Structure 1
Amino acid sequence: MRQGQQHSATGDSGNAITCRRCGLYRICFARRLEGGERHERQGVVRRGHEPLRAGQPVDGARLKGLSVLRSGALKRCRYSRNGEEIIAGFYFPGETLGLEWSPAGQEEERYVALEPAHVCHIPWQRIEGLMEEDGDVREAVNQMLREEITVERERLLRACRGSARQRVAAFLLDLAERRQRRSLSADRIRLGMGRREIAAYLDLTIETVSRTLSQFKRAGMIQLEGRRLQLMNGEALAAAADGVEGERLCG
């Protein structure tokens, strides 16, 4: 990817991100590069020009390295023995793929497009070469891994604990925080996933997710039309996520 280049390909969940908002930017440009070195570094990233279709999985070869979603939305999922879909996460423009580890004997997880999506990729072999050549790249990769592990652990804790109301509120706030980290609008969100995927991720029923979203809408916390979401009262959502709505009202 080229520094500062604007990409026109977009998914329905939001605009395609620029290189500066990309999860791989600190690897591609870990330090200030001169002209010839910059041109060589730009050639490291393989850009996907053909978009993934909704429902299409990411090519397994692309997971043998680091990939970043340039536009659209993906889900990370696998299927139980009885055919039930288990969703382990969602990915949005600028976020990195390929950092997860699956225990031996567990069915391999797949990344599947929720809508038309573009993915950029750096093979692990090339990353290892850059890490040997450039200490700044090595530190950038290590820092990225530390941050991703911390963020993912907190995200899973939010998704698995508390009441349905707490889980849905925390999920919406997480979407906003992830967009804010990429300098995108945090209060206006186009949901790439449907209620079925949200329910599968939060281990709730579709009816519970729909009912909870309706409650938030009636309470003035959100506006929701189809998949277009607007956060109206972040403080109230945070209270719902923490399970202290009554306490804050009394305070």
Structure 2
Amino acid sequence: MLEYPDNAMQVQRPQLWIIDLTRDRKIRTFEIPESIVQQGVGMASLVVDADGTDCEKSYAYIPDLVQGAIYVYSFEANRMWAFRHSSFQHDPQRAAFNVAGQRFNWDDGIFSITVGNRDPATRSKPVYYHPMVSTTEFITFTEVLQNEALATNGGYENLFQTIGDRGPNAQSTMHHFDGESQVLFYAEVNRNSIGCWNTQSNFSAENHDIIHHDNERMIYPTDLSADVSGAIWVLSNNLPTWIYSRLNVNQYNFYLWRQTPLVAIQGTKCQIE
């Protein structure tokens, strides 16, 4: 689906492409069934939950900001199923944005999913997620998402829970859990910043902090991810200006920011004691 403003075009059915980067070859493609996704316009991101000892046990979790769903793909079963929950919807009280002088209201639902460290006792991992139009963070667990029978039969409403609120203007596109520092990093689009929370502390606005803020080079941080070394990468793209006004082609509108997690959190509330 090509989502040009007012001119969406369906090119083909949405697919997953699984590629072995060490050998530069495609392993598999999986066409997402129409029973799961009609068009695929709302799948903004994807997170892979891989077992380091058995690739067959790998899963992909895909949030759908339009349909308010999480799609789960099992590599071993080569199947996909869906969870739907009220916490995947946007928060109308957090719909107002003011970015680079552009004021607008959006209704994007669940946008980002990130997976925490495995609990040695339960063998499960926490799964943190949030809608973009919201300042609330939510949690479930991999043992929930990986249960196809649960997704099919229902009765899982209480297995998706609220952690807390990040505070005013903390709407976030993507976020990422760093396993070494145990810190969550957020791309905060409504204040041109990168936020953080140390998961070893209580979840509250007071325990969140900003590791980087720039009203010129961090306008609308649209993507945040980590490379194989653990370094955090953030892309800002000035999207609201492009949608509601006009980009200045005589200046830079796209920026990349990079930092290692332990350096990024130095001097903040997220620093490891």
TM-score normalised by the chain length of structure 2: 0.26
- The structure that is strand-richer by fraction is 2
Higher relative contact order at CA 8 Å, sep ≥6: structure 1 or structure 2?
Answer: 1
- The structure that is helix-richer by fraction is 1
